[in-house]
Amino acid sequence: MNLDDAQRLDAADPLHSLRDLFQLPEGITYLDGNSLGALPRATPERIRRAVEQEWGEGLIKSWNTAGWIDLPRRLGDRLAPWLGARPGEVLVADSTSINLYKVLHAALQLQQGKRRVVVSERSNFPTDNYIAQSVVRAHGGELILAESPEDIPPLLDERCAVLMLTHVNYRTGRMHDMSLLTRWAHQAGALAVWDLAHSAGAVPIDLLGSAADFAIGCGYKYLNGGPGAPAFVWMHPRHEGQVWQPLTGWLGHANPFDFDSEYQPAPGIQQYQCGTPAVLAMTGLDTALDVFDAAQKLGGIKALRNKSLALTEAFIDSVEARVPGATIATPRDAAMRGSQVSFSLAKGVDGYAVMQALIAQGVIGDFRAGRPELLRFGFAPLYNGFADVARAVDVLAGIVESGSWKAPQFTSRSKVT
């Protein structure tokens, strides 16, 4: 794909106007929305208003007058349609890791000690497996890790309590069939917990339709809520009132401002709130969700998904055609592909150094160590276009062909890769 072809495709894109809602630096091709979403133009002013007016002038009154206390539920209601959930079922609170701890603990409680094994993938995002290790230790259980997706079904046996998976694998971009795997888990007597961090806002999700049990995810990737944006948590309504989540903080109490000395859990998803809402961070996420309101008027998640698939397909084709030795790790099958493309380079080519050389020329993706080492490029259909594909591949091909990645400044590793 050359730049002229790409620009023609962008001009015909019905979602192209959404790009104007983001503050994207001039000369930068940003393909890392699967790690940190771009800044919506409206966010700085909205946060400034929250700081200067709601906090600066309203002070503590703003818990009521500005609706601060209701942010976790209000944002959850805004997110719910994009997750295949209903209003009142999603809560925005805490971090992804903390929410995963809550729901894994609750899921094991639901098994009443009869099953204690959590099944996941070795290639799952490390924090998910770390949290699972902590939870199974507390329950006297075991974490069993499948070496590949194909190894999962045999592990769903009479010992399995919970199947815990990330919907879109953070390394490869491979997307699981949520409905199928949830059904298999239920047939084995297990519960299904889904991490939606790499799918929410970019691919279709149907939590209720797939009959999932719990789900969590973050607000700072494709949802564009800003660095460290609050996460979200969902519980299927069929589990309401059956168990307590383990972090029984005061805002998860049925009547927190009664200041009772004994904990009484709030009904439904409200129980999964623990401490005080991070108001300024939630304000950023709230503003970012306005962009999704605009996207809904242009075709919603179906239109975003169609564009995502077209972008990733074009990128895969171009990389394979122009970068010798590149091995695509992301599925070509659209049904199995999230909104990113990952690949390794020829033996002897330092992927980290190549990524640093790309960044130096204004093309931003990211690098993940492991076997194999992978370069990752996330395509956010809200603001990425075909011109981004064309420029990224042009620069990448030039760096690999010239060997410019070998320069010393590109081989010294930073703390964050």
Q: Give CA angle at 376 (286, 168), nearest 5°.
A: 60
Query: Taking Cα atoms as reference points, which of 303, 282, 300 lies closest to residue 291?
Result: 300
306 φψ region: left (φ > 0), alpha (ψ -120 to 50), beta (else): alpha
Residue numbers in the known binding site are 96-97, 125-128, 166, 195, 198, 220, 250, 276
Per the annotation, binding residues for pyridoxal 5'-phosphate are 96-97, 125-128, 166, 195, 198, 220, 250, 276
Task: Mention every residue, 6+ apart, whose C-beta is less than 8 A from residue 61.
Answer: none
- How far is 309 from 331, CA to CA, in rounded Å? 11
Find the catalytic residue in 78, 102, 174, 221: 221
Q: Is 195 a catalytic residue?
A: yes
272/195 Cα distance (integer angstroms) = 16
Per annotation, catalytic residue among 343, 376, 377, 394: 376
Nearest to 189 by CA among 157, 213, 167, 165: 157
Distance CA 265, CA 246 (A): 11
User: Which DSSP symbol is given to 134?
Assistant: H
- Given a contact cutoff of 8 angstroms between Cβ atoms, the answer to whether 311 and 31 are in contact is no
The residue from 22, 30, 101, 125 that is catalytic is: 125
Closest CA to 205 of 297, 87, 79: 79
Closest by CA to 14, choosing from 395, 352, 342, 299, is 299
22, 220, 315, 367: the catalytic one is: 220
- Please state the φ and ψ torsions of residue 390, each to the nearest 5 degrees: -60, -45
User: Known catalytic residue: 114?
Assistant: no
Which position among 94, 195, 286, 394 bears the catalytic label?
195
Give the whole-angstrom CA distance, residue 300 versus residue 262.
Answer: 45
Q: Is 376 a catalytic residue?
A: yes
Residue 30 known to be catalytic = no
* Angle, vertex CA 391, rays to CA 387 and CA 393, nearest 5: 120
367 within 8 A of 388, measured Cβ to Cβ: no
234 Cβ contact list (under 8 Å, min separation 6): 83, 85, 89, 90, 91, 207, 214, 215, 216, 269
Closest of 283, 271, 230 to residue 94, by C-alpha: 230
Catalytic-residue membership of 221: yes
CA distance readout (Å), 56 to 42, 47, 53, 66? 20, 12, 5, 12
Question: Which residues contact residue 155 at a Cβ distance below 8 angstroms, ignoring those fewer than 6 apart?
Answer: 119, 144, 146
Q: Which residues are catalytic?
A: 125, 195, 220-221, 376
